[in-house]
């Protein structure tokens, strides 16, 4: 039966970042399935894409147009505004379910409905314990770990049900005492243009191109990647170019590349539109996903697999992939390990061909849109109907 669903996201939307992409994919698929889908988010939009659902925006007060993740005092004010407008919108459209994406949205949704008058689903995109410390000074890491662990342990209980983006996170929540019947997994779907790879997979004498697509937040692991690039042997360096396709502060990473003497090896380019970044991805010989902070799955990893691209990734992130068959898995927090992985990608043509085939197989096995939609709708099944309460 079609449902009226209010999605809540505490951030700018849409943008090219992975979390926003997944929010949009979820709303699109549910809308295409016949549900009446609404999304309440911040005022700022970093890109424009067609959609079949209704977007509601809170006022841009205080003005905030940053697309970077992490704490900011303005976000606290905006999240309070999100709660107020969520309450008003619920009175107006009377959704059957509120679907909150990530922690700030969950807190706002619960503030808007403290009596739990309608079912609340929490979409957990990433755990906070491994991620929160990456936004702060290293001296604050112990405090950040404590705060992040506390959030992971207690805040999801505010929802009636929890959706995780991989099975590892689900198991982690269950180990902390969550009821297995209330925690579900929905692997993010691959949803990219139909055109696949355009670069030949053979090596020959030409220079290979590796690609990273994403932002420059610390949790992405770019510092370790650049350190690994600096460790490559001169002969290996001559056979590779790394394209960093960056959304956000391009100058910061460009300065790091120049300072570390990698300008001959690393090219920094602006992300541009999703189609521009996808084109650079399909023209590359392999992708590097340097993130090593566990507790989530980068959409950039799924996109690279969907492009049938060989991928070098961290084994703590690509937990569902078969090492050496669907991706080459290393310790991305260890630059020497990353450097050795890059050298294997450059020198082993058969490995890249095998990983390219395996990437397509992994997408069909793990990241289909049909399975994702069925998993989300399964979470909704059996939730209690909203209780009609008198609003004061």
Please list the rounded mean pLDDT of every run of 10 residues in the chain (392 residues): 95 88 96 97 82 93 72 82 97 97 96 95 92 76 86 94 94 93 95 59 71 89 95 90 90 93 94 87 96 87 95 94 97 97 96 97 95 97 70 42
Nearest to 189 by CA among 14, 37, 306: 306
User: What is the CA angle 83-88-89, rounded to 5?
Assistant: 95
Contacts of 390 (CB under 8 A, 6+ apart): none
Q: In the prediction, which pLDDT does 391 show? A: 45
Q: CB-based burial of residue 103 (10 Å sphere; 0-12 exposed, 13-18 middle, 19+ buried)?
A: buried
Closest to 128 in 3D by CA, of 106, 163, 152: 152
Return d(Cα 336, Cα 227) in angstroms, integer. 8
Residue-wise DSSP of 206-217: SPEEEEEEE---
pLDDT at 67: 61
**In this structure, are residues 222 and 307 in contact, taking their beta carbons and an 8 Å threshold?**
no
DSSP secondary-structure letter at 56?
E
Domains defined for the chain, CATH in brackets: 4-189+369-380 (3.40.50.2000), 208-366 (3.40.50.2000)
The pLDDT of residue 197 is 54
How much is the pLDDT for 205?
57
Tokens of 149: 């662990």
User: Using an 8 Å Cβ cutoff, are 184 and 378 in contact?
Assistant: yes
What is the pLDDT at residue 392?
A: 39
The token pair at 244 is 């960093």
């Amino acid at each position: 039966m079609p449902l009226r669903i209010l999605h809540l996201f505490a951030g700018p939307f849409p943008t090219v970042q992975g979390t926003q992409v997944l929010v949009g994919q979820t709303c699109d698929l549910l809308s295409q399935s016949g549900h009446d889908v609404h999304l309440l988010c911040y005022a700022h939009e970093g890109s424009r894409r067609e959609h079949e659902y209704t977007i509601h925006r809170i006022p841009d007060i205080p003005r905030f147009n940053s697309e970077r993740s992490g704490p900011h005092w303005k976000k606290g004010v905006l999240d309070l505004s999100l709660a107020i407008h969520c309450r008003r919108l619920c009175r107006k459209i009377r959704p059957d379910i509120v679907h909150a994406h990530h922690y700030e949205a969950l807190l706002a949704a619960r503030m808007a409905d403290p009596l739990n008058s309608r079912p609340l689903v929490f979409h957990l995109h990433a755990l906070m314990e491994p991620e929160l410390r990456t936004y702060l000074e290293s001296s604050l890491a112990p405090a950040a770990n404590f705060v992040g662990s506390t959030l992971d342990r207690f805040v999801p209980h505010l929802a009636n049900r929890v959706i995780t983006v991989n099975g590892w996170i689900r198991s982690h929540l269950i180990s902390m005492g969550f009821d297995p019947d209330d925690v579900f997994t929905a692997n993010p779907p691959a949803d990219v243009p139909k055109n696949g790879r355009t670069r030949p997979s053979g090596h020959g004498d030409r220079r290979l191109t590796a690609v990273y697509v994403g932002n420059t937040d610390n949790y992405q692991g770019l510092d370790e990647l650049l350190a690994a690039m600096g460790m490559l042997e001169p002969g290996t360096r001559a056979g590779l170019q790394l394209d960093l396709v960056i959304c956000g502060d391009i100058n910061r990473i460009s300065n790091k590349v120049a300072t570390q003497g990698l300008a001959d090896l690393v090219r920094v380019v602006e992300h541009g539109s999703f189609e521009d970044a996808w084109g650079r991805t399909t023209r590359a010989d392999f992708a590097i996903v340097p993130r090593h902070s566990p507790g989530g799955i980068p959409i950039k990893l799924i996109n690279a697999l969907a492009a049938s691209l060989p991928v070098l990734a961290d084994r703590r992130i690509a937990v569902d992939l078969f090492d050496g068959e669907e991706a080459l898995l290393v310790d991305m927090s260890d630059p020497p390990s990353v450097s050795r992985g890059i050298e294997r990608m450059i020198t082993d043509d058969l490995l890249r061909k095998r990983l390219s085939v395996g990437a397509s197989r992994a997408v069909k096995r793990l990241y289909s849109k049909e399975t994702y939609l069925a998993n989300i709708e399964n979470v909704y099944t059996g939730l209690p109907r909203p209780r009609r309460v008198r609003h004061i």
